[in-house]
């Protein structure tokens, strides 16, 4: 009950902020509000840019139509200085800087997004998944494809995992990524490909190939790392975590020393390993800016279909929600400190060693 009330409360706050932001935009205050915090680096996140979703992406909420992406770029061009990660790491000296990023390395980024970026002379960074570059399907897309194309067979395989057999389609992928460990996820993927041979025989070009990546590099696109198998790093034990963070074989393709967390999930062990590995920036998803350290950069995933809605999301809704989160976290830390200071002292007299 409390969780439901909290969720409804957050939705109400977000909706109110969004409405306020749209009104501010229509009042002509966009540039003034953006310039109130000219030093803040905005970062936006995309995945696939395609007109028609495939069985691999339909239902994942990762697709933006090319016309919507073009609208976003026109808005960015009007209000921000779009920068590369190279410029970001040089302190993003331009005012009102904005970074455009893509996770996973979908082929549609080259086919649909790149021409639109080039028309406006805009840089962007793509975060690559090792297994996808090597020609293997990412587990999220494989499971999604199986659910879309072979639902009965897929449900039968999932029935071996408590709670998954009858789980609503919209919640299933999220449950798997947050509750199952990498070993279980790999087991499910293998079982699907054995039981449904048509899955593995599909030759659909979903992700960028090595040749695509090298061509995009020549055309000004940067590439960072996004793990080897797109696992939730918070569910990885030490050996699996190490395997996920090794860039073996991708060194010639990665030209940006930055890293993006799969699903935006991270854990202290992952942060420590990535810091020791020498990454210059770690990109999250959501409003976690500076929550852990200056090493992190928050990104906002955007699907909005108008300038006003995009402004409201980037300049009102997300910044205010982030500020509220930081305030709440600060209050919690202060409360813990006060409770620690108020803890009763042991009245037992201590023996002297003199």
Terminal Cα distance for the chain, rounded: 59
Could you tell me the pTM of the whole model? 0.92
**Exposure string for 287-316, b = 16+ CB within 10 A, e = fewer:** bbbeeeeeebbbbbbbebeebbbbbbbbbb
Residues pairing with 104 in the sheet: 128
Query: 């840089």: which residue's tokens?
Result: 123
Closest among 95, 191, 205, 91 to 146, alpha carbons compared: 191
CB-side exposure of 353: number of CA atoms within 13 Å? 0
Predicted local distance difference test score (pLDDT) of residue 322? 87
How far is Cα 347 from Cα 263, in angstroms, rounded to an integer? 50
Homologous superfamily (CATH) for 37-137+206-333: Glycoside hydrolase/deacetylase (3.20.20.370)
Predicted local distance difference test score (pLDDT) of residue 350? 46
Predicted local distance difference test score (pLDDT) of residue 347? 54
Cα dist. 298→46, 95, 293 in Å? 13, 18, 11
* 281-283 vs 296-297, strand pairing mode: parallel
User: Average pLDDT of each block of 10 consecutive residues along the chain (354 residues)?
Assistant: 61 95 98 94 98 96 98 98 96 86 99 99 99 96 97 95 88 95 97 94 91 98 98 95 93 96 92 93 77 83 98 96 84 82 59 40
Where exactly are the structural domains of the chain?
Answer: 37-137+206-333, 141-204
């Amino acid at each position: 009950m409390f969780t439901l009330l909290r969720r409804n409360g957050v939705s109400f706050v977000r909706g109110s902020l969004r409405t306020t932001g749209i009104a501010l935009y229509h009042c002509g205050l966009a540039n003034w509000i953006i310039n109130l915090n000219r030093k803040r680096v905005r970062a936006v996140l995309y995945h696939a840019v395609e007109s028609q979703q495939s069985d691999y992406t339909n239902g994942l909420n990762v697709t933006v139509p090319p016309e919507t992406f073009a609208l976003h770029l026109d808005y960015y061009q009007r209000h921000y200085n779009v920068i590369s990660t190279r410029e970001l790491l040089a302190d993003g000296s331009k005012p009102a800087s904005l970074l455009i990023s893509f996770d996973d390395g979908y082929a549609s980024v080259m086919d649909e997004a790149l021409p639109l970026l080039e028309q406006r002379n805009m840089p962007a960074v793509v975060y690559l998944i090792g297994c996808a570059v090597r020609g293997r399907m990412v587990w999220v897309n494989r499971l999604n494809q199986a659910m879309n194309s072979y639902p009965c067979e897929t449900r039968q395989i999932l029935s071996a995992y408590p709670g998954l057999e009858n789980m609503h389609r919209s919640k299933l992928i999220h449950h798997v990524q947050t509750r199952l460990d990498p070993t279980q996820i790999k087991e499910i993927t293998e079982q699907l490909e054995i039981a449904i041979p048509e899955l593995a025989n599909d030759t659909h070009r979903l992700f960028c190939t090595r040749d695509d990546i090298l061509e995009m590099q020549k055309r000004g696109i940067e590439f960072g790392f996004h793990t080897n198998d797109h696992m939730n790093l918070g569910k990885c034990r030490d050996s699996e975590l190490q395997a996920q963070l090794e860039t073996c074989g991708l060194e010639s393709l990665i030209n940006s020393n930055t890293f993006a967390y799969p699903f935006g999930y991270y854990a202290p062990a992952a942060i420590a390993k990535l810091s020791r590995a020498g990454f210059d920036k770690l990109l999250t998803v959501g409003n976690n800016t500076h929550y852990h350290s200056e090493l992190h950069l928050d990104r906002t995933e955007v699907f909005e279909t108008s300038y006003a809605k995009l402004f409201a999301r980037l300049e009102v809704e997300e910044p205010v929600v982030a500020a509220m989160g930081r305030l709440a976290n600060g209050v919690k830390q202060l409360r813990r400190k006060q409770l620690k200071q108020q803890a009763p002292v042991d009245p037992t007299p201590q023996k002297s060693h003199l």
